[in-house]
A = this chain, B = another copy of it.
Amino acid sequence: MELEGKVVVAQGGGPTAVINQSLVGAVLESRKFRQVTKVYGAVNGVAGIINEDFLDLTQETTHNLEQVAITPSSALFSTRDKPDKKYCQEIFKVFIAHNVRYFFYIGGNDSADTVRIVNEEAETAGYEFRAIHIPKTIDNDLLMNDHTPGYPSAAKFVAQAFIGLNLDNRALPGVHIGVVMGRHAGFLTAASSIAQKYPDDGPHLIYIPERTFNIDKFLMDVKKTYDKYGRCLIAVSEGVMDENKVPIVTKLIDSGTDAHGNKQLSGTGALGDLLADQIKNKLGIQRVRSDTLGYLQRSFMGCVSSVDQHEAREVGEKAAQFAIWHNVDGSITINRTGYYSVDYKLTDLKNIAANTRLMPDEFINAEGNNVTEAFKYYLQPLLGSDMPEASMLRAPRAKKILNP
């Protein structure tokens, strides 16, 4: 028998360039089913649910939904609330009151965990209810997934940024450091490697949290590169850590902690400035600059991978199809089936919740300061159809006359 009731869609955690595609995919697909009485969007994630703060997306125009789909960041706004059991019981109360029978939560592994607990509450109470986690994270760190929606577009932004930084660094040589988001996983920082087109192209050095960051080794690497090319472009994850797993940046800054107990690594230029100072002072190189790519990586308007757009839409659609047609729970996963093709499956929520996937060893070079071609082969198709490329002049040198 068909399970009649409302759908609630919500967005959690950090925004991405395509999280609204998943929202719109889930909403448009849900609106097709006759057993769906209304499609609600919870404002500010789970916080909007316990406050009964819903937009009635059944009354949103299709045109505006399509416009929102190509707009970055979370159109339903987000939250950093990480519900415990009690919070989830509050959610469940609201769901019963509004006869919500389907819940789609777009987010990372914290959001998957929320979905898991809400589902448990429903089961305990014998309330018939389907909840699906729709994956999203620019960090690309969910288990069971070849990659996650949001990552390809953020990777494209990082790649385009480093293509530019490499050209800039060649035009006006020196050392340039680009700090990229990533607390635990280096996938996003590794995307900078796409800028390595010509033999002397940077980033010449790439540091990720999967490998211990040693400041002396770092300085030696920089010196070696600078001696060879007369310049050096570096990509470094904000989360690089020393041998005791202490983030390099926390050795310097005294900052607050966020609601998840994480040290604040984003929204400050401290790591880049610290590393630049080290290079200036210890290597005596004069022109040292750093850029912290910051929030632009996840919300920049107009830098989106076409593959990411389509996949983010599809995982939203699939969530509605799995829950409403097939009456099953879980987390949608992206599985690579060819080069390049994917398929979507459903996995148990506990496989995703509160876990983190790191870069596999085969993607990292032996020295731990760059990526391998295996990584580039993995990333390339995710960047989509319109990835721009830089070109250099190839004209021959003219003969000198005064000082031949």
- Residues of chain A at the chain B interface (Cβ within 8 Å): 11, 14-15, 38, 40-41, 51-61, 64-65, 67-68, 70-80, 93-94, 97-98, 160-161, 163-165, 167-168, 170-172, 176, 256, 266-270, 272-273, 276, 286, 288-296, 298-303, 388, 390-398, 400-403
Question: Taking the full assembly, how many copies of this chain does it contain?
Answer: 2
Known A73-B171, A167-B72, A393-B60: A296·B52 in contact at CB below 8 Å: no
Asked whether B160 lies within 8 Å of A76 as measured between CB atoms, the reply is: no
CA gap between A72 and B195 in the complex, in Å: 13
Residues on B with beta carbons closer than 8 Å to the beta carbon of A94 = 402
CA gap between A390 and B75 in the complex, in Å: 10
* Distance of A104 from chain B, by nearest CB (Å): 16
Closest B residue, CB atoms, query A290: B267
Closest B residue, CB atoms, query A167: B73
* Distance of A309 from chain B, by nearest CB (Å): 13
Closest 9 CB pairs of A and B: A269-B269, A267-B289, A73-B167, A164-B299, A67-B391, A291-B294, A163-B301, A60-B395, A54-B398
Which one of B14, B168, B392, B396 contacts A298 once the chains associate, using CB atoms below 8 Å?
A: B168
Asked whether B394 lies within 8 Å of A64 as measured between CB atoms, the reply is: yes
* Distance of A362 from chain B, by nearest CB (Å): 28
Known A67-B391, A269-B269, A402-B93: A170·B73 in contact at CB below 8 Å: yes
Asked whether B301 lies within 8 Å of A291 as measured between CB atoms, the reply is: no
Known A15-B168, A68-B392, A71-B167: A270·B268 in contact at CB below 8 Å: no
CA gap between A217 and B194 in the complex, in Å: 45
CA gap between A269 and B271 in the complex, in Å: 9
Asked whether B163 lies within 8 Å of A395 as measured between CB atoms, the reply is: no
* Distance of A101 from chain B, by nearest CB (Å): 15
Known A56-B398, A57-B395: A276·B286 in contact at CB below 8 Å: no
Asked whether B167 lies within 8 Å of A388 as measured between CB atoms, the reply is: no
Known A267-B291, A298-B168: A395·B55 in contact at CB below 8 Å: yes
Which one of B41, B73, B296, B301 contacts A395 once the chains associate, using CB atoms below 8 Å?
A: B41
CA gap between A305 and B60 in the complex, in Å: 32
Asked whether B294 lies within 8 Å of A388 as measured between CB atoms, the reply is: no
Asked whether B401 lies within 8 Å of A71 as measured between CB atoms, the reply is: no
Residues on B with beta carbons closer than 8 Å to the beta carbon of A256 = 286
Known A72-B167, A268-B273, A401-B98: A64·B393 in contact at CB below 8 Å: yes
Asked whether B77 lies within 8 Å of A170 as measured between CB atoms, the reply is: yes
Known A268-B276, A300-B160: A401·B67 in contact at CB below 8 Å: no
Asked whether B296 lies within 8 Å of A161 as measured between CB atoms, the reply is: yes
Asked whether B73 lies within 8 Å of A164 as measured between CB atoms, the reply is: yes
Residues on B with beta carbons closer than 8 Å to the beta carbon of A70 = 388, 391
CA gap between A300 and B159 in the complex, in Å: 10
CA gap between A257 and B384 in the complex, in Å: 42
CA gap between A303 and B302 in the complex, in Å: 8
Asked whether A71 lies within 8 Å of B397 as measured between CB atoms, the reply is: no
Asked whether B71 lies within 8 Å of A295 as measured between CB atoms, the reply is: no
Which one of B41, B68, B300, B391 contacts A161 once the chains associate, using CB atoms below 8 Å?
A: B300
Asked whether B392 lies within 8 Å of A78 as measured between CB atoms, the reply is: no
Residues on B with beta carbons closer than 8 Å to the beta carbon of A301 = 160-161, 163-164, 167, 388, 390
